Structure 1
Amino acid sequence: MRAAHKYLLLYILTTSCVVVNTFDPVTTTVVVGFGATLGRTIWNYLHESCEPRWIAFNATGLEADLNRKLFGQHIASRIILKAVNGFMSNENPKKPLVLSLHGWTGTGKNFVSQLIAENIYREGMDSSFVHVFTSELHFPHSSQIETYKIQLQQWIKGNVTNCARSMFIFDEMDKMHPGLIDSIKPYLDYYDKLDGVSYRKAIFIFLSNAGGESIIQTALDFWTSGRIREEIELRDLETVLSLSVFNNKKSGLWHTSLIDKNLVDFFVPFLPLEYRHVIQCVLSEMEARRIPPDKNVADQVARDLIYFPKSERIFAVKGCKTIESKLDYYT
């Protein structure tokens, strides 16, 4: 399909040039300008650009995706929907949207980032305006942290200059070298412009396992006291979570000025998943593969996972992270 588009564009541009040869100099200038404009229009139509055709927030779509595809995360779903909806609806935000997602592995942090991208960018995670940084891949050596700081600043400045509606996802924040993320603090602050560039329409998302212990302990406390997890509110977790992350030496947000200066808009807790949520994950994966939903298969997959505490077997150690590979075994 893309090859056909290229041939179409080449044909139109070639035709324009051929027609130009038959006109007088004045007309030639007009036609050449028309051909160039038409060429740019077609190019922008077929290739992703920083325009509403390619970047348009679908609030209804995000709400539907969170309700249908994210399981066991009533707090995260509510925060994400309100935060992103409010930010994208504001044509003149005072600062970038900064979300810090925390929780045990397999609880949905990366998945939520994907859902946000898919409902803002037509190309989703494949968009050239969505940028993912992984600590161990992009910032592996502590001895080069000063170089990483400069590179990170340049990368963000260059991409936001190219498109104000850029999204930056920092994965494995718990493995990032302390102090590195502070290099982008000015871009997250309440500045109209920095060196002629406005960062206020950008989105920054931090993903981390740091703080997961605090979230799990809160969930366990509710279970022990006989209260259901849906009774857990953000106020039960937000303060302890931010303090836990700020004081955790293994966190990329350790003693960071981003927290100290209140530049993180929301600390979003992801609760550990229970057996029933794993069942939902399996059935959802079967639906995505167009396999007839089979609760017996879902039960087999869910029972095969490891849960904790060992005696009560309440929460899945890896959440839904290994569902895809395990489903291959049972189907």
Structure 2
Amino acid sequence: MSDQDSSTSASQTEGEVEGERDEEMDGEMKGGDEEGEKHRDSPVPSLSSFSTSLSAVMRIKQKYRAMKKRRQDMALGLAADGPLTGAPPRSSPKIFTFDGLTPSSFSSSVPQWNKNKKRKRKRVLYPNRGGCRAPPKQERSRAKYCLILLCAIVFIQVYNAIENLDDHVLKYDLDGLEKTLRREVFGQQGAVEGLLSHLKDYLSTYVHNKPLVVSLHGPSGVGKSHLGRLLAGHFRSVVGETLVLQYYVLHHCPQEADALRCARDLATLISQMVERAEEEEKIPLFIFDEVEHMHGEILDALLQLVASKQSNEYLNAIYLFLSNLGHTHITKHMLQNSSSISMASASSGRHSHLVKELTPILRRTLEKLHPLWTEADVLPLGLLEKGHVMECFLDEMTREGFYPDHTNIERLAGEIEYYPEAGGHQYSQTGCKQVVAKVNLL
């Protein structure tokens, strides 16, 4: 069969199929019209008419399915024989699946403009609200405020503590005491500075772990007793007469046989004064002059009071010992080292240098005499020069009402015995001890 014949037969077949479908559709439409007329003619539909219509619809549906199947079989047969000449090619619909796709093929299938768009993607911009976008606020921890409050509380407590210390020191008027000592004690600037330093440190607070014990040592006439009288008078004015004790061994206990009784009486007196001071919240002062004549029993009793840590009431007290113990070491040291001492420019520097060098020497000597000095701060008093003796004469003559004639003062100071000149200094052998007696002879 030629191609022309096949095309002719195919067109005839299609024509016949179309003709049969049209006839069937016309017949069905006619039947439907006739049935519609019957329904219109019949006044009331019956069950038989409804079943007839349903059977007609079922027949139409079955015929339509048969025609559709027949048409699909014919199309498949034509496609198997080859496409007809002049007929458009037919293709069955394709179903899309992801089978056979790889990441490389998928990436290659993505358009290039889409890639560039992704690369050139701009970052997200926030809408303008009165200018630039405000940075996010960081939440502050509440612990920071607690720390600031704690620091403020600590600062207030420390400030109040310092104010209380200042108030406690002001109660004893140490500034006034310093002015008095510098004005009336001559040639002992180093010892005065050391004593004032100990008093300021101790009196700055009321609670202590040990009493303040200071021992002043020096040759005769250098101002030990005078310094003790000035301290006693100042403390009587600030803490009261009953809280200051000046104990002279040769006056209160001259006999060695009464040493044990004197020791008991002294311990009782000190206990009473300390208890009274505790009630008044004050610190008492005990001055012991001429300690070189003090008996061993009294020294033992004082050692128990000074070193006692069983009760807090004995810890708030000031003990001042005045003696000439170790005066030979002081005299020898100053005469042999007067040249090195004179190298210091200021007077206070010379005396501070003297105190620094003599303190360890005196401590070793005193600790061998009695263990009481192991608990004491030792301060040496140096020899007085001729200029210091002249100052003593000027002060005494002014007190007695004499005219302070410089010629007369120099003449009186020349009558005092001096050590041989050493390093350009003339040291007095008796200090200012004979000044009062010579002024009284005027």
TM-score of the superposed pair, with normalisation by structure 2 = 0.55
> What one-letter code is carried by the residue in structure 2 that aligns with 1:106?
G
Q: CA 1:86/1:287 → structure 2, altered by over 3 Å: closer, same or farther?
A: farther
Match of 2:304 among 186, 206, 215: 186
Alpha-carbon separation, structure 2, partners of 1:92 and 1:128: 21
SS at match of 1:210: coil
1:284 is aligned to: 395
SS at match of 2:337: helix
Q: CA 1:287/1:94 → structure 2, altered by over 3 Å: closer, same or farther?
A: farther
2:10 is aligned to: none
> What one-letter code is carried by the residue in structure 2 that aligns with 1:148?
C
SS at match of 2:242: coil
Does residue 62 in structure 1 map to residue 174 in structure 2? no
Aligned counterparts, 1:49-88, within 5 A: 56-88=171-203
1:175 is aligned to: 293
> What one-letter code is carried by the residue in structure 2 that aligns with 1:120?
F
Alpha-carbon separation, structure 2, partners of 1:129 and 1:309: 45
Relative contact order higher in (CA < 8 Å, ≥ 6 apart): 1
1:69 CA displacement: 1.4
SS at match of 1:121: helix
1:156 CA displacement: 1.1
Q: Spell out, residue by residue over 1:117-162, the C-alpha distance to the aligned partner (whole angstroms, 9 max, x if none).
A: 23332179x9232212222222223333322222221121122222
Does residue 270 in structure 1 map to residue 378 in structure 2? no
Does residue 162 in structure 1 map to residue 276 in structure 2? yes
Is the Cα contact below 8 Å between 1:308 and 1:315 reproduced in 2? yes
1:233 is aligned to: 354
Does residue 215 in structure 1 map to residue 330 in structure 2? yes
Is the Cα contact below 8 Å between 1:135 and 1:175 reproduced in 2? yes
Alpha-carbon separation, structure 1, partners of 2:323 and 2:233: 21
Aligned counterparts, 1:1-331, within 5 A: 56-122=171-237, 127-164=241-278, 165-189=283-307, 191=309, 193=311, 198-225=313-340, 227-228=342-343, 230-231=349-350, 232-247=353-368, 254=369, 256-259=370-373, 262-264=374-376, 266-309=377-420, 314-330=426-442
Alpha-carbon separation, structure 2, partners of 1:283 and 1:191: 47
SS at match of 2:216: strand
Is the Cα contact below 8 Å between 1:56 and 1:121 reproduced in 2? no
Greater Rg by CA:
2
Alpha-carbon separation, structure 2, partners of 1:226 and 1:214: 16
Alpha-carbon separation, structure 2, partners of 1:76 and 1:69: 13
> What one-letter code is carried by the residue in structure 2 that aligns with 1:317?
Q
> What one-letter code is carried by the residue in structure 2 that aligns with 1:156?
I
Q: CA 1:81/1:226 → structure 2, altered by over 3 Å: closer, same or farther?
A: closer
Is the Cα contact below 8 Å between 1:211 and 1:244 reproduced in 2? yes
1:290 CA displacement: 4.6
SS at match of 1:93: coil
SS at match of 1:168: strand
SS at match of 1:180: helix
Is the Cα contact below 8 Å between 1:94 and 1:192 reproduced in 2? no
Q: CA 1:305/1:233 → structure 2, altered by over 3 Å: closer, same or farther?
A: closer
Is the Cα contact below 8 Å between 1:274 and 1:314 reproduced in 2? yes
Is the Cα contact below 8 Å between 1:168 and 1:204 reproduced in 2? yes
1:225 CA displacement: 4.9
Is the Cα contact below 8 Å between 2:274 and 2:284 reproduced in 1? yes
SS at match of 1:122: helix
1:189 CA displacement: 2.5
SS at match of 1:71: coil
Q: How many residues align?
A: 263
Alpha-carbon separation, structure 1, partners of 2:390 and 2:204: 35
SS at match of 2:441: helix
Q: Spell out, residue by residue over 1:205-241, the C-alpha distance to the aligned partner (whole angstroms, 9 max, x if none).
A: 1111111111111111222557357433322011111
Q: CA 1:87/1:123 → structure 2, altered by over 3 Å: closer, same or farther?
A: closer
1:267 CA displacement: 0.7
1:329 CA displacement: 2.3
SS at match of 1:268: strand
Q: CA 1:87/1:225 → structure 2, altered by over 3 Å: closer, same or farther?
A: closer
Alpha-carbon separation, structure 2, partners of 1:309 and 1:135: 34
Alpha-carbon separation, structure 1, partners of 2:260 and 2:183: 43
The answer for unaligned runs of 5 or more in structure 1 is: 1-51, 248-253
Alpha-carbon separation, structure 2, partners of 1:310 and 1:139: 40
1:278 CA displacement: 0.3
Alpha-carbon separation, structure 1, partners of 2:256 and 2:400: 42
Q: CA 1:137/1:310 → structure 2, altered by over 3 Å: closer, same or farther?
A: farther
The answer for unaligned runs of 5 or more in structure 2 is: 1-166
Alpha-carbon separation, structure 2, partners of 1:178 and 1:309: 37
Is the Cα contact below 8 Å between 1:104 and 1:209 reproduced in 2? yes
Of residues 289-298 and 106-115 in structure 1, the stretch that sits farther from structure 2 once superposed is 289-298
1:45 is aligned to: none
Q: CA 1:290/1:83 → structure 2, altered by over 3 Å: closer, same or farther?
A: farther
1:191 CA displacement: 2.1
TM-score of the superposed pair, with normalisation by structure 1 = 0.72
